[in-house]
Each structure stands twice: as C-alpha cells, then as structure tokens.
Amino acid sequence: MKPIRLMAGFFTVGIWTLLSRVMGFVRDIMIAAYLGTGPVAEAFLVAFSLPNLFRRFFAEGAFNMAFVPMFSKKLEGGEDPHRFAQDAFVGLGGILTIFTVIGVIFMPALVTLMASGFLGSERFDLAVYYGRIAFPYILFISLSALLSGVLNATGRFTAAAAAPVLLNVVFVVALLIAGRGCECAGIAGQSYLGSALAYAVPVAGSAQLALVWFAAKKAGYALHIGWPKITPELKRLGVIAAPAALAGGVVQINLLVGRQVASYFDGAVAWLNYADRLYQLPLGVVGIAVGVVLLPDLSRRLRAGDAQGGRDAFNRASEISLALTIPAAVALMVIPLPLVSVLFERGAFTSDDSAATAIAVAIYGLGLPAFVLQKTLQPLFFAREDTKRPFYYALAAMVLNAGLAIGLSPVIGFAAAAVGTTLTGWAMVVMLVLGTRTMDGAARLDARLKRRLWRIILAAIGMGVILFLAAATLSPFFGVPTLRYGALLLLVVIGIVSYFGLGQLLGAFQLSEFRRNLRR
C-alpha cells in the first residue's frame, strides 16, 4: 500500500470511527440523563462490558492480530485465502457458541470477576440479569471482527469501520422507544430502561454482523456457518492467537482491574465509564484507525521483503497518531470539567458526578498518547507473527496495574483505577519499544518524525495555555443552561484553531497534508 493510500485508509477508518464515537456520546448522554450513576446504570455498564471484554480476547486481541497477518500473506503469496478465512470463520463461531452458553450459565461468577464490590447489593442481581441478555453479543461481534479483518486486509475499510455506528444507533432508538411515556425516576422505571438497553445489545450485534457479511460477500468472501475442521493452518493460527489474546486486550484487562476497584465505591463504575468514553474518542479515531490499516500493510510489506517500506509506514503512522493525539491529551488534562459538565450533566447526572468524572478524564488524558502508541507498536510484532513477547509484556503490565490500582485505592479512592491504567499504558510502551530493538530498526524514528515531534509537543503546549485562559474567561457561561453548549463549542474551536495554527507556524505539519488525505 503506497503512503498516500495508507494515509487515506487511516482517514477512512478514522472518520467512520469518529461518527461512531459521536453517536456513542449521544448514547451515553442519554443513559446518563435517564439513569445517572445509580445502581441500574452501574449494573448495565458492567453487564455490557462483559461481552466487550471477551471480544478483545477472542476477536480484536486474538483472531485479528493473528488472523490478519496470515490472511494478508496468503493474499500476497497467491495462496487460497478464501478457504483459510472460511475455516477460521467456522472455527471461531464454534468456539464462541460454546463459550456463550457457558457464560450465560455462569454469569454470576463473571459479574463477580468484573465487580466483586456489587456482591450483596441490588446491583449484583441486576448485572447478572442484564448480562445474560447481553452476553450473546460476543458471538456476533467476534464474527464481525473476523469479517472486518478480511475486508481490511483486502483494502476495503468502509463497511468494517461503519459497523460500530449501528450499535449506537440501535441503543439510541431503544432508549427513545423505552423512555417514551416511561416514569424513569424510580427504580422500577430505570430497571425497565436497563432491560431495553440489554436487549438492544444482541440486536445491534446481529445488525453489525449482517453489514460486514454482505460487504465480505460482495468482495468475494461469502463465508458460511458449518462444522469446524481442525486444519494445520488453524492449529498454527491457534498457537499464534493464544498469546495475542492477552497482548491485544491488555487495555481491557487493565480496565477490568479498574472496575474491580471502582465497584467498591458507589457511582465510581459509572464515573470511570463516562471518562473512558471521552478519552476513547481520540483513541478510537486515531489509534484504532492506524492499527486497523497498519497491520495488514506491514504484513504485506514483510512478505514482499520491503523492510524500508515497513519502516516508512510505521513512521508515518506514528507521526499522524501523535499529531492528532498529543493535543487531544493536553485538552483532556486542561479542560476536563467543562467537557464533562456540558456533555453529561443533566437529569440524574449531578454536578458531583461531573467533578468525579472530570478527575478520571484528566488522568486518562495523561495516558492517551501511550494508548495510541501501543496501536502503532504492536503491529510490528503481530505482522511478524510474534505474539509471545507482547504476551509477556501484557503479563507484566497486568501485575503493575493491579499493584497500583489496589495499592493506591485506600489513599486516593476510585481515582487509583485511572492512575493504574495510565501509568501501565506508558510502561507497556517502554516494553514494546525495547522489544523492537531486535527488528533491524523497524521502530527507528526517521529524520522527518524527529524533526516534527518536538514541534508537535510545543504546539500542543501552546494550545493548552490558550485553552486554559479561554476556559477561565468563559467559565461564567458554563453555568447558564442556554449558553453552555455555545461556550464549549467556542472552546473547542479555539483549541483547534490555536493548535493547527501553531503547528503550521512551527513546522510541526503541513495543513495541506491533512486536506489532501481528507479529500482522498
């Protein structure tokens, strides 16, 4: 994939991911307004996080990180990629069907694993009930992820990137229908809304699967259900996928530890969830887009023996990631309270909830560049079918995160979960960078990135100072319901204009590069 096509792929995935995240904000704003941070909200958030957690293991963490390089190399080498994809589709479907049944039966144990602080409260019973309804989502979304890997490897990014939008659309529609005429103030009304959300999860999953299946069929990969066959290639895939299951899902594992800590503080599960949504916006738009496009491109280059092209792809991916992520991180640290209060503070979500959520947002913002850098560094390993070393790094990261989150919680409360996640993210980056030293300079920064990196940081710092002063000036308007939306919009515009203006002035990037790739 040529550099221009590579960048165009980043922007294609990024724009659709941005739309998905915007719809996700609409969804979470509605959930916060209807349910606040009460027991129903926390129970549903834990129930919904269970299939998403295991999705990172079975789909994005394991199969995609192992499947995409093998599939891409078969495409490049003229082998039979369709048969391999069909065998993987059936094999993954068989494993996940069994796992789904087990998960539904043992849902109380899974909820305990996720949030043991719920034991003995109504939150636990609600989480088990919602979890049993929502858990089949893992089957649909994991098969969707495999089909998305097929599409991404063949250079077709649109359908796979658009599929997550359906999830949020279904949620919003479910809330609108269930909330119409519902007396949602009491626990009974909120429980009804929670049930509607839970049923929306598998419905959305089946819609996502249908979208990418038809797109894959159009691309010549009409995969069908069948009886799994254990082939030598599937055995090799399993050997590679097993350690990748942990390595690819390290962020989710750390969030699991964070939820365990948060479950012992009333409202903290919801606070961390809403904070997570804010920092996941730039992480999804930039990090996931880069990771999705970079992995198949690196795999093809390695197959063709193009080491220099692989280094160039890594440097351009890192450059665009940092150019868009560092200013986002600064903004999350400088203006967390205006962001949270304007987006979420209404209905059952109070000013106290805003203050607590803003603390988590600022801490997560500090780790945002690390989370994105992981998305550019991990493909260097996975493209070489090396999943063992990221697995070992993930184990070390888990131990560090658990120690920080649990050890600091008696001192700083629920914020310990966010601190652990952020510091662990940077530790993971250090381990990945050290691990690339054996790759003949695959992760070596080229002259262009070295020249631009410090300018990107300087432009982001300048933007942060301007944002801080602008937020202080506009602070009276954030307390006025009819004016706070305009004030936040103005603040965002000031941040964008100041960063890109300073970046252009300092030579951190050329605005024409962004415009050219957006047009493509």
Domain ranges of the chain: 3-519
* Tokens 């940081």 sit on residue: 457
pLDDT of 498 = 95
* Sign of the alpha-carbon torsion through 390, 394, 400, 401: positive
Q: Please state whether the predicted TM-score (pTM) of the whole model is above 0.75.
A: no
Task: Name the packing angle between helices 122-134 and 187-218 (round to 10°).
Answer: 20
* Tokens 């602070």 sit on residue: 475
pLDDT of 107 = 95
345-362: string of b/e by CB count within 10 Å (b at 16+)? bebbbeeebbebbbbbbb
Q: How far is CA 500 from the centre of its chain?
A: 25
Tokens linked to 36: 């606040």
Closest CA to 490 of 336, 338, 284, 280: 338
Q: How far apart are CA 513 and CA 207, in angstroms?
A: 36
Tokens linked to 206: 């089946």
Exposed, middle or buried: residue 146 (CB in 10 Å: 0-12, 13-18, 19+)? buried
Per-residue pLDDT tens for 22-67?
Answer: 788 788 888 888 888 888 889 998 999 888 877 766 655 556 667 7
Q: How far apart are CA 220 and CA 229, in angstroms?
A: 22
Per-residue pLDDT tens for 426-436?
Answer: 999 999 999 88
Mean pLDDT of all residues belonging to the chain: 82
pLDDT band at 4 (very low <50, low <70, confident <90, very high): very low
Per-residue pLDDT tens for 124-161?
Answer: 999 999 999 999 999 998 888 888 888 877 777 777 77
Distances (CA, A) of 425 to 2, 206, 239, 432: 31, 33, 26, 11
